[in-house]
Structure 1
Amino acid sequence: MSFKLSIPLVLSLLASFSAVSAQQCNATSLCPSSAPCCSEFGFCGTGDFCLGGCNPLASNTLTSCMPEPVCQNANLTFSDTSRILSNATYFDGNATKYDWVVNSGTIINSTSGELAMILTEDNGGTRLSSTRYVHYGQITARLKTGRWGGVVTAFITMSDIKDEIDWEFPGDQTTEGQSNFFWQGVVPQKTVGETHGNLSDTFSNYHDYTIDWQQDTLTWLIDGQTVRTLKRSDVTGDDGVSRYPSTPSRVQLSIWPAGINSSGQGTIDWAGGLINWDDPDYKAAGHFYALVESVSVTCADSKSNPSDAQSYVYGKNASAFSPQVTVTNETTVNNGAGSLRALAGANVWTAIGASAVMALGALLV
């Protein structure tokens, strides 16, 4: 289950973008050429709509979205916020300038080099997205979760066509974590999520949560120990379709309010009930929070990609059942609102199957 944004917050984000069409979009209702890019929220537009989260299968053409910045091995820490863009709508696609963008909410950089993601009754939660994508690889987040009913801490990967791999920590269950995955946003009738327990307090103690995502095997680990493994063959149906996450994805970190009245009852129950905004922790600090110490990324394609590889692009024959991704040297930078690029003439090497930053010393409980 991915980070949820409230309708008022989504509308305010849409209003801040450079050009917005009232038209909604999906795989069967594509965007018009005048507003060619289908944003992660399912609205047509230009400019920012064509960057992170732009769905190529719902946009005007497969080449309407900007190319996705290619994966690079990294160990990302948070001693300061110089590599975090605090407002994602100002991101132009240049992943050499920033490692993260803040999609919504508020972050705090603590004096001990931790990143705090903040949830208040008014801000709707905080979400950060990596500026680079991962197309198979190993990602580890070292973090401390929240501990309050209705509040969810999450570390996930999310592709532009909604392939998703999750580590989630709902409510006040501080001795366990939950693993899950989704294929192209399809919610199965029966959940495929699993719970992994016997952890030392996840609020008080840092743990390393790993997503080891390879072409045929997906493994979830805690502190280096495997807790779950999924094979591609496990989710390949009789129709031959592999319902396995297989498209380039951003890394996302978040804290979000599942336990609010606008959520479905099932979501509220899953998250541990409605949030108590009178909780002593909230009263003392003025917010709930989760802490991140580091995120490391080891790209599976780092050795096979050319040294000047810049981007992933969905291929001409990409479809919902067989998304094809190419590694190219196309630029990822969107020079101005509505700036689009054409695939023709691109140098394509490889086809691969497919808010404000608060000051130091802010009060934490």
Structure 2
Amino acid sequence: MVSKLFAVALAASSLVSAQTFTDCDPTKKSCDPDPAFGKTVDIDFTKSNGEDYLYTLPGTKVTYDKEKGAVFSIQKETDAPTKASHKFIFFGELECTVQAANMQGIVTSIVLQSKDLDEIDWEWTGGDNANVQTNYFSKGDTTTYDRGGKHAVANPLNQFHKYGIVWNQNKIDWTIDGAVVRTLNAADVGDKYPQTPMQIKIGTWPAGNKNTPKGTVEWAGGYSDYEKAPFIGYYQNCKIVDYAGGNDAASGTPNAKEYVYGDKSGKWQSIKIVTGDGSDDDEKDETTTSAPATKTTAAPKTKTEEASETETETEKDDDDKTTSTTAAAAASTTLSSVVVSSTDAAESTGASATTSGADSDSAVASTSAGAASTVATAEPAGGMMNRANVAMGAIGLFFAFML
């Protein structure tokens, strides 16, 4: 395995390995606090660009449509439109209404990812119009490829479905149109359970390019035909709920402002929650002779508080208005998602290479996915697993390592 990964790495020596990328790993050194959502947010991309909560990554481009929402379009091999959250959730919920990009080799992703490389994923490969994949990672561990699942869903490349993640101290549920299709219990995986504050990343990216390693291309469904571009993934809306360390919105710490790693263990119990009002359970009985500073509390196991307030964006209509950020340093852009692992792992996925017909104009969410099989897959990828810094302008294409 190591030799195979090294061979792939050598072939892509100009790129940064995705499975090791993070701006700052709190299990290795002190890092800045993670800003907290601390509440519930509803983003309707048919009415707003959502930039207050999910910003468009430098060097990438997202546009907006009145009916279908955020438009993540790939025109050429170097495109990877991506949005990422300014803030983090510490346990919580994420649900997005998505129509995945329809072209083999093009991947659409929803990702929760922490600074110490815990990760929870949804990912669609554009050559499979009958299934969606789920995955999870802990501390960037890619030593095995048995964490993935594949789940039946009707026509995901041509119609909208709601895809959700419900994540707390004890388990992760993946849902399609409100129905649970997979559950991961923390007790079953021990310290391999994702458990640290996570940022949200959504987008589309090309895995079927001519210079991409063969294993990745096969996993993604085959080589992409750019003569048929654009390949578009649509995100109609997203709902974000921050549990602020609790097992649900009601039991989390109120007024959460920041999440701070208390040590280098990477355990959820070590995360300190900084509140914005100066109050907390640990210090409420202390006496002070000065004005109270912002204080911290360890993540609660149980606590009865009111649910986080719900904030719905009411920004003015941004239809047909392009949100495009350009950066001179596009070469160091953190991409929405990146690929590859061992070729053998990729070859064992048996990914379909068939493509469906023309895109449907309907933006109506479809019926429930029905019975979904949580089949373990020897997947080569973690979807947006940990982003790679790719010199897009310098190399004219990109690919990177998946889990």
1:289 aligns with 2:235: no
Shift of 1:126: 1.1
Instruction: Give the AA of the match of 2:83.
Output: L
- Secondary structure of 1:166's counterpart equals strand
Q: Which of 39, 43, 50 matches 1:76?
A: 43
SS at match of 1:56: coil
Q: 1:190 aligns with which of 138, 145, 148?
A: 145
- Cα separation, partners in 2 of 1:113 and 1:222, compared to 1, 3 Å: closer
Q: How does 1:1-365 map to 2 (within 5 A)?
A: 41-42=21-22, 54-58=24-28, 61-62=29-30, 64-84=31-51, 98-103=52-57, 104-112=59-67, 114-197=69-152, 199-236=153-190, 242-279=191-228, 282=229, 287-301=230-244, 302-315=249-262, 317-320=263-266, 324-329=270-275, 347-351=295-299, 359-360=320-321
Q: TM-score, normalised by structure 2?
A: 0.62
Question: What is the CA–CA distance in structure 1 between the aligned matches of 2:193 and 2:36, rounded to whole Å?
Answer: 22
Question: CA offset at residue 233 of structure 1?
Answer: 1.3
Question: What is the deviation of 1:304?
Answer: 4.0
User: Aligned partners of 2:35, 2:94: CA distance in 1, in Å?
Assistant: 18
Question: How far 1:8 moved relative to its partner?
Answer: 12
Query: Residues 148, 8 of structure 1: CA spacing in aligned structure 2 closer, same or farther, 3 A cutoff?
Result: farther
Contact 1:77 1:294 (C-alpha < 8 Å) held by counterparts: yes
User: Does structure 1 retain, via aligned residues, the 8 Å contact 2:108–2:233?
Assistant: yes
Query: 2:112–2:119: 8 Å Cα contact kept in structure 1?
Result: yes
Counterpart for residue 17 of structure 1? none
Question: Aligned-pair distance for 1:79?
Answer: 3.1
Instruction: Provide the rounded CA distance (Å) in 2 between the counterparts of 1:123 and 1:9.
Output: 15
Q: Deviations over 1:185-216 (max 9, x none)?
A: 1113233111111x221122110111111211
Report the CA distance between 1:350 and its aligned residue. Answer: 2.7
Alpha carbons 1:114, 1:292 under 8 Å: kept: yes
Question: 2:205 & 2:98 partners in 1: Cα distance?
Answer: 15
For structure 1, the residue ranges without an aligned partner over 5 or more in a row are 1-6, 12-23, 27-39, 43-52, 85-97, 237-241, 332-344
Structure 2 residue ranges without an equivalent (≥5): 1-11, 278-292, 302-317, 324-357, 360-403
- The DSSP-based 3-state class of the residue aligned with 2:250 is coil
Deviation at 1:120, TM superposition (A): 2.4
Query: Letter of the aligned partner of 1:291 in structure 2?
Result: Y
For 1:8 and 1:121, how far apart are their aligned partners in 2? 22
For 1:318 and 1:304, the matched residues in 2 are separated by 25
Contact 1:325–1:352 at 8 Å: present in 2 too? no
In the alignment, the residues of structure 1 paired with residue 120 and residue 139 of structure 2 have an alpha-carbon distance, to the nearest angstrom, of 11
CA distance in 2, matches of 1:330, 1:277: 49
TM-score computed with the length of structure 1 as normaliser: 0.68
Report how far residue 351 of structure 1 moved.
3.6
C-alpha distance in structure 2 between counterparts of 1:293 and 1:80, whole Å: 10
Amino acid at match of 1:158: Q
Q: Could you say if the C-alpha distance between residues 54 and 118 of structure 1 is closer, same or farther in structure 2, counting changes exceeding 3 Å?
A: farther
Once residues 62 and 211 of structure 2 are traced to their aligned partners in structure 1, the CA distance between those partners, rounded to angstroms, is 24
Displacement of 1:258: 0.9
Contact 2:197 2:259 in 1 (8 A): yes
Give the root-mean-square deviation of aligned CA atoms: 3.2
More deviation, 270-279/185-194: 185-194
Structure 2 CA distance for partners of 1:359 and 1:54, relative to 1, 3 Å: farther
Deviates more, 1:118-127 or 1:250-259: 118-127
| Distance in 2 between residues matched to 1:229 and 1:215, nearest whole Å | 13
Identical aligned pairs, as a percentage? 22
CA distance in structure 2 between the partners assigned to 1:10 and 1:329 by the alignment: 39
Contact 2:63 2:71 in 1 (8 A): yes
SS at match of 2:216: helix
The answer to which structure has the higher strand fraction is 1
Partners of 1:217 and 1:323 in 2: CA distance: 15
Change over 3 Å in CA distance of 1:69–1:166 after alignment to 2 = same
Greater RCO, 1 or 2 (C-alpha within 8 Å, sep 6+)? 2
Q: Using a 3 Å threshold, how does the CA distance of structure 1 residues 137 and 361 change in structure 2: closer, same or farther?
A: closer
